[in-house]
Structure 1
Amino acid sequence: MTVTARPDLYPTRIIGEPVPQQRPDPTVWGSAPGPLSEEQLARYESGGYLVLDELLSGEEVAVYLEELRRLGTDPALRASRRVILEPDSDQVRSVFEVEKVSDLFATLLRSPRLTDIARQVLDSDVYIHQSRVNYKPGFGGAPFHWHSDFETWHSEDGMPRPRAFSVSIALTENHPFNGPLMVMPGTHKSFIPTVGETPEDYHEESLRVASPSVGSPDQRHLTRMATEHGIEQITGPAGSAVMFDSNLLHGSNGNLSPFARSNIFIVYNSVENTLGSPFSAPKPRPQHLSNREFPTASA
């Protein structure tokens, strides 16, 4: 039997000079009806992100914030692979696969207020590719270096195309001084390959260090993209959210303030874009980082 190799539309983790390419895929994948207006879809398509005001009520924020604290202090969970600690302390940085460890978060992640948006933008049924809660504690929450999520998901998880997006829901206020999300609007329309081979079990380094050794565009390309597109901070109250395209360049500074910048983070992927073997890594990342079970998000 002849096995046909999958085409790689987004080659990365290369040796030599990285050459950016125009993205051949859309940002909004169809014209399915849904909760977003035409104006909202146009802003998302153009900039690669969209702020959703008051996604959660104040009462809901309080409930989810307490659940976040419970997960962060659960000793059994803390001893598992789902928990990532800060690079310079034993404080919790992230808890992954929260729909498996919290019924409360599972209900939210699979709720129509989120999945209806995902189906509208991706023009298909969807599933949760990845989920986590990020703590970004005061006096020590480390930065996240500039990167495209899709570059990682493509090279290390085997996601074929950028038919996915993330939603970050604020559980604490996003101030300019506590390490909020930063984005380069419009950069989702260009794919920038990165240089270097993916080391074995690279996720054990990349999820914890502030500046991973592989997977971020070089400074020359980042400077050019920032000059052309600018940098915007996503600030706002607890309960607000931002959805952003999987290929949008983003990052965040460290948190030197006393105030945590904590959020719920969900990635929705199209069921027509499920994972195969990694395009540029020795083996797939673990299940808690890249879901291969493919239930629909509303299941």
Structure 2
Amino acid sequence: MYDVIHSTREIGYGVFKACFSDSEVNTIKSRIDCYINNQDYGVVYEEDGSTIRGIHGLHLKDDFFSGLIKDPRLLNLAEEHLGSKCYLHQLKINFKRPFKGAPWPWHQDFPYWKEGDGILKPDLINIAIFIDDASMLHGSLCMIPKSHLLGNISKKVIDETSWKADVSSNLTYQIEKQHIERLTANDNFEFITGKAGDVLVFDPLVIHASGNNISTYDRRLLILTYNSVDNLPVNPKHQRPDFLSANDYTPLSAI
């Protein structure tokens, strides 16, 4: 655990290999499958309007996921990294369907929580469980090492207040081309590949992106965003839905 935390602090991300067993991953898959055909307000689609892109907020309505966010393997990582008790700000499953899963442009996560939810400091941490194996064919995440040390360098590229732009393939806040050209010079980037059950921890300011899924298999990531209880939202500009922005700040306890 400490190697992952050290790596996350140093370069912006770290991977905990084989954190979850095959059996545990299969259980997670079965619970996700219960919601794939559910026209729920936390489900979003690709531009074709029919290919699922993401499911949000399952911990708000499913006991399995409300328990998962308190799993000590995840919660202890979050508390150790943040140095405080924390609550879950957001849970989402990012889908990349075979041949249809669209990219995520270069971006940082923190601007969405700062501008959309009123969280003033980047004292949050993302913990992502690989639900499927992820190779280069699957549209794996690509990280720019140490980019979290630059602070918030995102630019608003879509002038609207709807939360739907925050989860679309054309994100509200992105990183300008000149920054990417400079930061990725000399192959300064890393594709995060791995096996189902691996866990990726990454800083909310690390710059990342992902491409199309050109494989015949799903590539799903279950991403938990924990926020420090010392970093609660303050006067958000826009009230985003509770499946994107928590309104329960009760500190979590491991089970």
Give yes or no for TM over 0.5.
yes
> What residue in structure 2 maps to residue 162 of structure 1?
122
1:58 to 22, 46, 61: 22
> What residue in structure 1 maps to residue 246 of structure 2?
291
Q: Provide the rounded CA distance (Å) in 2 between the counterparts of 1:237 and 1:197.
A: 34
Shift of 1:294: 0.6
Instruction: Give the length in aligned residue pairs.
Output: 254
Q: Which structure 1 residue ranges, 4+ long, deviate > 3 Å from structure 2?
A: 192-200
The farther-off stretch of 39-48 and 120-129 is 39-48
Does residue 62 of structure 2 align to residue 102 of structure 1? yes
Residue 71 of structure 1: SS of its match in structure 2?
coil
Normalising to structure 2: TM-score of the pair?
0.93
Q: Provide the rounded CA distance (Å) in 2 between the counterparts of 1:120 and 1:195.
A: 31
Q: Provide the rounded CA distance (Å) in 2 between the counterparts of 1:60 and 1:257.
A: 24
Q: Provide the rounded CA distance (Å) in 2 between the counterparts of 1:187 and 1:217.
A: 11
> What residue in structure 2 maps to residue 273 of structure 1?
231
Residue by residue, what CA displacement relative to the aligned partner does 1:135-159 show, whole Å, maximum 9, x if unpaired? 2111101111111101221111111
Normalising to structure 1: TM-score of the pair?
0.80
> What residue in structure 2 maps to residue 86 of structure 1?
46
* Structural mapping, 1:210-249, within 5 Å: 210-212=169-171, 214-227=172-185, 230-249=188-207
> What residue in structure 2 maps to residue 125 of structure 1?
85
Q: Provide the rounded CA distance (Å) in 2 between the counterparts of 1:215 and 1:198.
A: 7
Residue 98 of structure 2: SS of its match in structure 1?
coil
Distance 1:229 1:291, change over 3 A: farther
> What residue in structure 2 maps to residue 14 of structure 1?
none
Residue by residue, what CA displacement relative to the aligned partner does 1:260-296 show, whole Å, maximum 9, x if unpaired? 1012110010000011123xxx423222111122122
Gaps of 5+ in 1: 1-35
Shift of 1:120: 0.7
Does residue 138 of structure 2 align to residue 138 of structure 1? no
Residue by residue, what CA displacement relative to the aligned partner does 1:5-43 show, whole Å, maximum 9, x if unpaired? xxxxxxxxxxxxxxxxxxxxxxxxxxxxxxx22x44332
The farther-off stretch of 240-249 and 215-224 is 215-224
Residue 194 of structure 2: SS of its match in structure 1?
coil
| Identity score, percent | 27
Q: Are the equivalent residues in 1 in contact too, given 2:5–2:77 (CA < 8 A)? A: no
Does residue 139 of structure 2 align to residue 179 of structure 1? yes
Q: Provide the rounded CA distance (Å) in 2 between the counterparts of 1:283 and 1:73.
A: 29
Gaps of 5+ in 2: none
Q: Provide the rounded CA distance (Å) in 2 between the counterparts of 1:239 and 1:91.
A: 24
Residue 94 of structure 1: SS of its match in structure 2?
strand
Distance 1:231 1:205, change over 3 A: same
Residue 93 of structure 1: SS of its match in structure 2?
strand
Bigger Rg, structure 1 or 2: 1
Counterpart residue type for residue 201 of structure 2? M
Does residue 148 of structure 2 align to residue 188 of structure 1? yes
Q: Provide the rounded CA distance (Å) in 2 between the counterparts of 1:262 and 1:288.
A: 18
